[in-house]
Amino acid sequence: MDRIDGLILGAYLLISLILGLLFYRKNDQRENYLLAGRSLGWAPVGLSIMVTAFSAINITAFSGEVFGNGLYVLMSVPVFYLVSIPIRKIVIPFFLNLNVTSAYEYLEIRFHRKVRHLAAVMFILWRILWVGTVVYVPGRILSQISGISLNTLIILTGSIATLYTFLGGIRAVIWTDVMQFFIMIGGLLATIVYTINCIPGGLWGIGETAAAGGLLKPFHPFDPGIFSLDPRIRISFWSALIGTFIAFLTRYSADQMVVQRYLTAKTITQAKRGFTLNYLAATGSIILLAFLGLAIYAYFIQQGSPILESILPIKYFTRFLINLPVGVKGLMITAIIAASMSSFDSGIHSCSTIFSTDFSDSALIKKIPPQMLVLLIGSLIIIVAVNMQHFGSIFEIANKVVNGFGSPLLALFFAGRYIRTCTAGGAFWGGLAGLIFSSMTILLVHNLALHYYAVINFGATLGFICFFSLTSNRMRFSSSNKYTI
């Protein structure tokens, strides 16, 4: 890696540590460390929500998806606006009025402490595996581009993210997220501008080349197949609409990483405004990434390089980044690392919050402050990420299983809020059955449209909860209809 590129990356890492030190003195109370004293405004909350859910895998995979298959993924963009309706009107006021620290506290209020523990365990497993994945996968690409070994990258970025999270708590996490957002956007814009200048005709040339390669489908030429009801079609209008809606609803209403951002806001109004900023920023970022995918395709065509189906799009993405000029390459490397670290810091902080809040009845957990839990969980995730390279196909399986944890969590909240007849026993055993079913579906069913997995797993878990609720009188759980509609 060139000296200038190294300076750009080093400056970002140094500023991240400085932010952790700046907020160190404000963590005199537990609520300050976990929720920033519920005092933040809409702008940092909104950008933090966006960056938290927008991992480095999104940067590398989204452009690769457009490069290989066209603009089909853009059909999911309008869902941001659809899902914002229940989030703004129902979810945000609900959690802020409860005045909780963990999203899963509600499940004890509505059902039983064992249901809360089940959800907490599901979340922790989900996020530890997920964070390990989003650190490892882009790390492989960055290692080739920067010349830094994979393990060194993982340990360096993971340790720095753990340290500033340990020092500054949620304030450091959120404000580094804000910085990471601008770094990601800056890196993307610099790369896109460079690519436009490399291609004859600029923007128009990119569009013509992409159209000639069929990458503007399904919009140009229009692909009527997107309205097919065949569930085996990789991405259809219906799978993108319904499946993405369930996936986004899970992310924004059942994921502690996001819910914790709502809880740091001063007021419900501030949290709602933050969510609006989140989906506007996410939409803009997705459009930039889609255009980057088209630009990379046009770049290789103009270079006379054949686009072979036997070569994965991610390989072209890596080759493209390697060929970027000094400075632009440094910005893009830093952008990918920033996206990776934003997922890392959010994951370890939210997991430590869950441990210290949802398992506070444990004598052992009570003795461990949240700061020490951050260090322990951060170290664990670094170990997981470093060792993923040794698992081969097991890693790929684990990556799929990770996606089975979200839908059962959403089903637990939905049952608690909207189905009064659901019992604590039904929620516990149904949630557990749904988790197993979701994992098996992802592992064994291969011909289903990408977005339908979330729908099927959500529906199945909800069905299990209702079924087991019919027999919950045999289970020694108590439940309440408090906070149902």
Give the C-alpha separation, 337 to 184, whole Å: 9
Domain stops at, among 390, 421, 444: 390
Residues 125 and 184 in one domain: yes
Residue range of the domain that includes 290: 3-390
- Domain final residue pick, 390, 416, 431: 390
pLDDT tens column, 37-54:
999 999 999 999 999 888
The number of domains in the chain is 2
Q: Are residues 474 and 325 in the same domain?
A: no
Along the 485 residues of the chain, how does pLDDT read in single tens digits? 788 999 999 999 999 999 999 998 877 788 899 999 999 999 999 999 999 888 777 888 889 889 999 999 899 899 999 999 999 999 999 999 999 999 999 999 999 999 999 999 999 998 988 888 888 878 888 888 888 899 999 999 999 999 999 999 999 999 999 999 999 999 999 999 999 999 999 999 999 999 999 999 999 888 888 898 888 888 889 988 998 999 999 999 999 999 999 999 999 999 999 999 999 999 999 999 999 999 999 999 998 888 887 788 888 999 999 999 999 999 999 999 999 999 999 999 999 999 999 998 877 787 889 999 999 999 999 998 888 766 655 555 555 556 667 899 999 999 999 999 999 999 999 999 999 999 888 888 888 887 888 899 999 999 999 999 998 665 545 556 666 65
- Statement to judge: residues 425 and 385 lie in one domain: no
Q: Which two tokens stand for residue 478?
A: 């108590």
CATH number at residue 267: 1.20.1730.10
**Within this chain, do residues 154 and 239 fall inside the same structural domain, yes or no?**
yes
- How far apart, in whole angstroms, are the C-alpha atoms of residue 239 and residue 232? 10
Could you tell me if residue 396 is inside a domain? no
Residues 6+ apart with CB under 8 A from 224: none
Torsion sign across C-alpha atoms 184, 138, 312, 305: positive
Residue 211 placed within a domain: yes
Cα-based angle 88, 264, 379 (whole degrees, multiple of 5): 120
**Residues 233, 338 within the same domain:** yes
d(C-alpha 413, C-alpha 462), whole Å: 10
* pLDDT single digits (tens) 310-352: 788 888 999 999 999 999 999 999 999 999 999 999 999 999 9
CB 365 within 8 Å of CB 359: yes
Contact 218, 226 (CB under 8 A): yes
Domain final residue, candidates 368, 390, 412: 390
